[in-house]
Amino acid sequence: MVVYKRATETSELEQILALQKKNAIASISATEKEIEGFITVLHTYEILKKMNDACPHIIAKDGDSVVGYALVMLKEFRDEISVLSAMFETAATLLGDKNYLAMGQICISKEYRKQGIFRGMYTYYKEELQGEYDCLLTEVATENSRSLSAHLNVGFETIKTQISNGTSWELICWDWK
């Protein structure tokens, strides 16, 4: 049975990194990329732990196995991952004084997809953090149509499309207020 919780153990962070590697754009075929979606950013253990220490990540577990994750990224980490710099710069202008956090990345193990875990993690994410934050911001590569569609179905709305480092990104926001 899949349960949703905040990441608290070293083994959970290590399993997040393993799941990231399996689903990285460089690790999958072009067909799989188109059908299943992909991960753009690979985190180091150090940055993943720093982010988790500041605000624990959301994970889906089946027994002892992490089968999905949704990373929590506070604004303070805006300079830690260079590919996200443009997102944070644009958000500062578009979101003004809203108290937001960034969804750093979401991924579900292939064996667990199409079982409601994506929506389950986001529902848990909102339940856990809406008391402290106005909205959740993230960006999805425009070519990652599966991920973009899934995010829009949960409640995110596109607030801007922008090109950064040669990639077209959909900047999307889920307003919790």
pLDDT of residue 24: 66
Q: How far is CA 165 from the centre of its chain?
A: 19
Is the pLDDT at 38 greater than 70, yes or no?
A: no
- Name the residue ranges covered by the structural domains of the chain: 2-175
What pLDDT, in 10s, does the model give residues 83-111?
A: 778 888 889 899 988 999 998 889 999 89
Is the pLDDT at 33 greater than 80, yes or no?
A: no
What pLDDT, in 10s, does the model give residues 5-16?
A: 999 999 999 999
Cβ atoms of residues 102 and 145 within 8 Å: no
Mean pLDDT over each residue of the chain, to the nearest integer: 89
Per DSSP, the residues of the chain read: -EEEEE--SHHHHHHHHHHHHHHBGGGS-HHHHHHH--B-----HHHHHHHHHHSPPEEEEETTEEEEEEEEE-GGGTTTSGGGHHHHHHHHHHSTT--EEEEEEEEE-GGGTTSSHHHHHHHHHHHHHTTT-SEEEEEEETT-HHHHHHHHHHT-EEEEEEEETTEEEEEEEEE--
How many other β-carbons are positioned within 10 Å of the β-carbon of residue 29?
9
Is the pLDDT at 172 greater than 90, yes or no?
A: yes
What pLDDT, in 10s, does the model give residues 104-145?
A: 889 999 899 999 999 999 999 999 999 999 999 999 889 888
What pLDDT, in 10s, does the model give residues 134-149?
A: 999 999 889 888 889 9
Which residue is it, tokens 């506070």? 74
pLDDT of residue 64: 97
Tokens of 145: 């149509």
Distance, first Cα to last Cα, the chain: 31
pLDDT of residue 30: 67
What pLDDT, in 10s, does the model give residues 48-90?
A: 999 999 999 999 999 999 999 999 999 888 888 877 788 888 8
pLDDT of residue 5: 98
The residue ranking higher by pLDDT, 42 or 34, is 42
**CA distances from residue 164 to 31, 142, 173 in whole angstroms, order as listed:** 24, 11, 18
Q: Is 2-175 in CATH node 3.40.630.30? A: yes
The pLDDT confidence band at residue 27, using thresholds 50, 70 and 90, is low
